[in-house]
Amino acid sequence: MKKLSFFTVLLLLSVCSFAQSEKYVAAMKKNLAGMDSSFRNPADLVKLANSFERIATAEKTEWLPYYYAAFCQVNAGFMEQDKTKTDGIADKANELIKKADSLAPNNSEISCIKSMIASCHMMVNPQERWQQYGAESSSNMEAAMKQDPANPRPYFLKGQGLKYTPEQFGGGCATAKPQLQIALEKYNIFKPASEIHPDWGKQIVEKLISDCK
């Protein structure tokens, strides 16, 4: 009987923890489903970022919710029209990605977000800031390529950056397109580790390539 009760407890525990991770995956999936519609405005992105952050702080050991929270924040930063607010939003994104980084060091996806955060700071005043943040953005982009050569996202970021750089600075379609095509090739064979692992960017790459035709 004693044995039985021990097994029962064990079983119950495993059922609970299974339920817990199921709850986690379900919550993540629900948030990820709302990702596209949140890109309408920065306020919705912040709302979604907060929701990811709540999962992150409750779970404590998962890097993905911190990663997505930072991803939503930095995109909110890019979308924010009031440039005086951008640095604050980017700082918040940085705070989140640092936590993700401590849970999953040397992660290519995390390096991509770091690169985006640096670009976001730079956008506030590109002329005066590119020396500092431009270097920071590209070094993180390069790190991301090294950490996982199969990851299409650093190539996407590089191509996107070139696409929106004036031709006089060596940007524009001519230089961007080859990069974007590399990214697309990588997207075509890329398989995310799970349903909730990063798997974004392909559609934008396709759109950018079609814009360059």
Partner 1 sequence: MKHILTSLLLLGFITTKAQVTISGRVTDNKNKPLPGTSIQLKDSYDGATTDSSGNYTFVTEEKGEHFLQVTTSGYFAVVQKIVIGTTSMVQNISLKEQITELKAVVITAGSFEASDKNKGAVLNSLDIVTTPSANGDVTSAFKTLPGTQQVGESEGLFVRGGAATEAKIYMDGNLVNNFFYSSTPGIATRGRFNPFLFKGTIFSTGGYSALYGQALSSALILESTDLPERSQADLGISVVGVGGGIQHLAKNKKSSWGISYNHTNLWLGLKINKFKQDFFTVPVYNQLDANFRIKTKNGGFIKYYFYISGNKTAFSSPDIDSAVLKDAFHLKNLNTYQNINWKDRIGNGWKINTGVSFSTNKDDILNELQDASGKKVTIETPEYFAAKNYSVENKAGYAQARLVLEKKFAGLSALRFGSDYFYSDEKTTYTSYDGQKFTEKVIDKIFAGFAETDVYITNSLAAKIGSRIEHSAVINKWNIAPRLSLAYKFPDNSQASFAYGIFYQNPERRLLPAIASIDYSKATHYILQYSKQSKDHTFRIEVFYKKYNRLYKTDFNNFGQEVAANTLGYGDAKGIEFFWRDKKTFKNVDYWISYSYLDTKRDYLNFPSSIQPSFAASHTASFVFKRFILPWKTGFNLSYNFATGRPYYRIAYNNTQNKFDITDMGKTINYNSMSVSINYIPSLGKKDTKSFTVWVLGINNVLGQNQVYTYNYSYDGSRKEAVTPPSKRFVFIGCFLSFGIDRTQDAINNNL
Q: Which of 130, 147, 199, 204 binds partner 1 (CB under 8 A)?
A: 130
Long-range contacts of 27-31 (CB under 8 A, 24+ apart): 27/55, 28/55, 28/64, 28/65, 28/68, 28/196, 29/195, 29/196, 31/55, 31/68
If residue 54 lies in a helix (H) or strand (E), which one and from where to where?
helix 42-59
128 contacts 87 by C-beta, under 8 angstroms: no
Number of residues binding to partner 1, judged by CB under 8 A: 56
CA distance 159 to 96: 25
Pick between residue 129 and residue 202 the one whose CB is nearest to partner 1: 129
CB of 191 to partner 1, least distance (A): 28
Is 100 one of the binding residues for partner 1 (CB under 8 A)? no
Pick between residue 67 and residue 133 the one whose CB is nearest to partner 1: 133
Pick between residue 161 and residue 198 the one whose CB is nearest to partner 1: 161
Is 171 one of the binding residues for partner 1 (CB under 8 A)? yes
Q: Which residue has the tokens 């759109």?
A: 207
Pick between residue 78 and residue 200 the one whose CB is nearest to partner 1: 78
Is 63 one of the binding residues for partner 1 (CB under 8 A)? no
Please report which residue ranges of 80-172 form alpha helices under DSSP H.
83-103, 108-123, 126-129, 135-147, 153-163
Nearest by Cα to 123 from 172, 84, 70, 69: 84
Residues near partner 1 (CB under 8 A) are 4, 8, 11-12, 15, 23, 27, 43, 46-47, 50-51, 53-55, 57-58, 78, 83-84, 87-89, 91-92, 118-119, 122-126, 128-135, 137-138, 141, 158, 160-162, 164-171, 175
